[in-house]
Amino acid sequence: MKKFLKNKFVFLMIAMLFLTACSNEKKTEEPQENKTIVEQTNAEEKQALLVYAGAGLKKPIEEIKQEFETKMGVKLEIVYAGSGQLLAQLEQSGKGDVFIVGSKPTYDEAIKKGLANEAVPVAHHTPIIITQKGNEKGIMGLKDLNKDGIKLALGDADANAIGKTSVKMFEKAGINDYEKNVVVKTATVNELYQALKTGSVDAAIVTKDSAFGKDDLDIVEIEPEFLIDQVISIGTLKISENEELAQKLVDYMKSDTASSAFEKFGFKTVK
């Protein structure tokens, strides 16, 4: 009988220890489970903005993007392309929050189509001519780009702002036969520089900021009487589902922090 009671007592002690361990394990797991739920909820609640931005603006915007995301606790999803391409994508998708492109005429087109709200000027996107290092062709301005023997690269007028502006500047200068020298047309301003770098062309019309910091080319200013300056414009989209946050991004683009980012990469900001 004593042996039976002894065995029964040992069995009860083991059972109590097992139940205590299970209880402690459950208490340990509960905070972790609760933490996971909280983290998932915060991730789901994190807001995002869809931004359409000109390809030539990528360097400053990527820097501004990091600062804005950190400050506001949001995520910016940015689509980079030529302004004409962006407008087409915007129309097709029917989604987006902010539109920022390299020239006001392109932005105004978005307004006419009922896609964008009023624009805010951010910085200058001034056209210039770039040539091969040494400028052996002796290009001194827009008037020289239609001379025989010049291989020229231009932006595609249907795809980007610099292409449209180039056409308007040639028209302003009364130069109608420049197309005979055009051997490359590109969708973005960055591709124009690549065409020059590979030796495919003698000259290209780009923006001053895109040539900033590059020592493997020469810069030729466009004659003041023919120059058409471009102004980078930004605004919210009418289809935005988060207008308040979108407007905060537009306002942030005019801040001292954002202006410093633009100036860092060769853009002259609009005061």
In this structure, what are the phi and psi dihedrals at residue 98, rounded to the nearest 5 degrees?
A: -135, 145
Q: Amino acid letter at 84?
A: G
What integer pLDDT is reported at residue 41 of this predicted model? Answer: 38
Binding-site members for molybdate are 83, 189
What integer pLDDT is reported at residue 233 of this predicted model? Answer: 96
What integer pLDDT is reported at residue 20 of this predicted model? Answer: 52
Cα 215 to the chain's mean position, in Å? 24
Q: How far is CA 197 from CA 39, 64, 130, 145, 192, in A?
A: 48, 28, 10, 18, 9
Binding-site members are 83, 189
Half-sphere exposure of 80 (CA within 13 A, CB side): 12
What integer pLDDT is reported at residue 190 of this predicted model? Answer: 86
Torsion angle in degrees (nearest 10) through CA of 51, 120, 70, 38: -60
Q: How many residues does the chain have?
A: 271
pLDDT 10s digit of each residue in the chain, 271 long? 444 444 444 454 555 554 554 544 444 444 444 444 444 434 446 799 999 999 989 999 999 999 999 999 999 999 999 898 999 999 999 999 999 998 888 899 999 999 999 999 999 999 999 999 999 999 999 999 999 999 999 999 988 889 999 999 999 999 999 999 999 999 988 899 999 999 999 999 999 999 998 999 999 999 999 999 999 999 999 999 999 999 999 999 999 999 999 999 999 999 8
Q: Amino acid letter at 257?
A: T
Which pTM does this prediction carry?
0.74
Percentages helix, strand, coil for the chain (3-state, rounded to 5) are 50, 20, 30
Contact 119, 141 (CB under 8 A): no
Domains of the chain by start residue, with CATH: 48-124+230-269 (3.40.190.10), 127-221 (3.40.190.10)
Alpha helices in 94-207 (DSSP H): 104-112, 161-173, 189-197
Interval 82-130: pLDDT, tens:
898 999 999 999 999 999 998 888 899 999 999 999 999 999 999 999 9
What integer pLDDT is reported at residue 38 of this predicted model? Answer: 40
Query: If 0-12 CB within 10 Å is exposed, 13-18 middle and 19+ buried, where does residue 37 land?
Result: exposed
Q: Smallest Cα–Cα separation from 203: which of 236, 227, 178, 240?
A: 178
SS3 177: coil
Residue bearing tokens 């105004």: 108
What integer pLDDT is reported at residue 250 of this predicted model? Answer: 98
